[in-house]
Amino acid sequence: MHVPQSHPRYHSLITREKLAQAFRNGLVVPEGLIAHGRGECFDYILGEESRDFAIEAERAAVAMMILANHPVISVNGNAAGLVAEEISRLSEVLSAPLEVNIFHRSEERVKRIAEELEKHDAIVYCRGDAVIEGLESARRIVDRRGIYRADVVLVPLEDGDRCEILKRNGKRVIAIDLNPLSRTSRMADVTIVDNITRAVPNMIEFAKEMKDYGMEELEKIVLRYDNREILRRAIKAIIEYLESRSGEL
Ligand code: ATP
Ligand code: MG
């Protein structure tokens, strides 16, 4: 489908097209398309831009990952369908390997996602040779070299259950989730309320800049960060946006 650049919903339509193509290629499941719809709705009422609370969370997330001993980036079908190249670059600048971790698991889909990421020269773990205790879904199956031993995990588009279990297993969790009300958002140590299509490119830029920061400076950024305050600001931003729109009528 050709989407003219002048279309007012250009970015949103391009994103949908990318995801639909990823679905046809077997990277994304139908449930992933529905989950994206929920994200789009929140993006709409946040003004479809990276807001100050998202930028602050992205910077704290990058600081936390630079400071980590074993940072890992978990990738599901939607993340691979939307930002395979960008997430591979982020992995490279942060020296944080990627791990394929999906809810609706099949060996075929794991393989396809891994291949998509490897096209962009990423280091991809997907052996599925270890299990995270306390979780019933297929997301419990992890790689011994990756999430299993990670101290910080970036989980874009996560579900609340796994976020909770990762935390119970002593890991720090960074979520990218446009819904500031979700269990994932409330569970994570750092919640990036931003579209993954903007969050990952932003994080690449911050990572390039912050790699040269001293340890103390990075630690200060992490210590100062308050996730509850960030979520409060995100919810308030939605209220204010809706109020301003209703005022225009
Ligand atoms: P929870 O179990 O944490 O309450 P949920 O059931 O609301 O989560 P899921 O369907 O498990 O949500 O996961 C999808 C989440 O990902 C949604 O909260 C949605 O807002 C978010 N999401 C979908 N697409 C994007 C995107 N492109 N960028 C950022 N977030 C997105
Ligand atoms: Mg859920």
Domains observed in the chain:
52-238 (3.40.50.12640)
Distance 248 CA to ligand 2 centre (A): 34
Distance 159 CA to ligand 2 centre (A): 4
Residue 137: DSSP 8-state: S
Residue 169: DSSP 8-state: T
Residue 1 confidence (pLDDT) above 80:
no
Residue 215 confidence (pLDDT) above 80:
yes
Mind listing the pLDDT tens digit for each residue in 94-147?
A: 999 999 999 888 999 999 999 999 999 999 999 999 999 888 888 899 999 999
Mind listing the pLDDT tens digit for each residue in 44-89?
A: 999 999 999 999 999 999 999 999 999 999 999 999 999 999 999 9
Looking at residue 69, its pLDDT comes to 98
Looking at residue 95, its pLDDT comes to 98
**Residue 173 binned pLDDT confidence (cut-offs 50, 70, 90):** very high
Q: For residue 35, which ligand has an atom nearest its CA?
A: 1
Looking at residue 224, its pLDDT comes to 98
- Of 11-15, 23-27, 192-196, the poorest mean pLDDT is in 11-15
**Residue 228 binned pLDDT confidence (cut-offs 50, 70, 90):** very high
Do residues 101 and 76 make contact, with C-beta atoms less than 8 angstroms apart?
Answer: yes
The model carries a pTM of 0.96
Q: What is the mean pLDDT of residues 9-18?
A: 92
Amino acid letter for position 14: I
User: Which atom of ligand 1 is the closest one to the Cα of 34?
Assistant: 10
Looking at residue 233, its pLDDT comes to 98
Amino acid letter for position 231: L
Q: Kindly report the protein residue whose alpha carbon is nearest to atom 17 of ligand 1.
A: 39
Distance 160 CA to ligand 2 centre (A): 6
Residue 9 confidence (pLDDT) above 90:
no
Residue list, ligand 1 pocket, CB within 6 Å: 35-36, 38-39, 42, 157, 159-160, 176-179, 182-184, 195-196
Residue bearing the bigger pLDDT, 134 or 33: 33
Residue 2 confidence (pLDDT) above 90:
no
Residue 159 confidence (pLDDT) above 80:
no
Q: Kindly report the protein residue whose alpha carbon is nearest to atom 25 of ligand 1.
A: 39
- Long-range contacts of residues 151-155, Cβ cutoff 8 Å, at least 24 apart: 151/68, 151/69, 151/70, 151/71, 152/64, 152/65, 152/68, 152/70, 152/71, 152/72, 153/71, 153/72, 153/73, 153/74, 154/61, 154/65, 154/71, 154/72, 154/73, 154/74, 154/96, 155/74, 155/184, 155/188
Cβ neighbours for 196, distance < 8 A, ≥ 6 positions apart = 78, 79, 82, 83, 156, 157, 176
